[in-house]
Structure 1
């Protein structure tokens, strides 16, 4: 993410580096089961983004981790934080509402996708012919 071109800064810390781009994270712990194909790789470090013209004060990503499910899929997670901007920078909460909303939706979305997928697989969520394009109805 090149926030500098928008008037912001990106600062790497705790052994992560920001140059050359992309960010580089120091390796931490890892596990792998060759039989199941399951495992994980955890990294350390953090990158903090500050983009005041766009009301982003100290958004931090740290400790990324990749988890392998064993079926060819995986999950990338990281600790993310909008660092107590309202305290450190005296930012009124009204300016952080968009961040709160994005976080709430992002956290709720995986559960919703799993529920809809399960309903589709179980056949309990059926598409009505009304929603199928006319060419496909015949």
Structure 2
């Protein structure tokens, strides 16, 4: 899903709140400094150019966050451990998902009642 700099920063704040409530069983809190560093990057094209050190810090933060999220998905994702069961009462999807067309992604994923591909539309 595409995010604006503001929505990314808000997502980092929401993640922090969720981790505090859940006790953070996957230790995602370790990624918070890197996520906050990335959220604080000024997206303004007229902003001063970052130094080489700032660029290096940002790239290391991206690498750390991506590795951490891949680790989380591989070890804690429920989808990876379940075999998808076909739904006996699956509904016909007669039109394409508006979110997918307009935003390039759908927040409902497999729970969406609209088609996300031509193949899904033809089923």
TM-score by length of 1: 0.24
Kindly indicate which of the two structures has a greater share of residues assigned to helix. Answer: 2
**Relative contact order (C-alpha < 8 Å, sep 6+): which is higher?**
2
Higher-Rg member (1/2): 1
Kindly indicate which of the two structures has a greater share of residues assigned to strand. Answer: 1
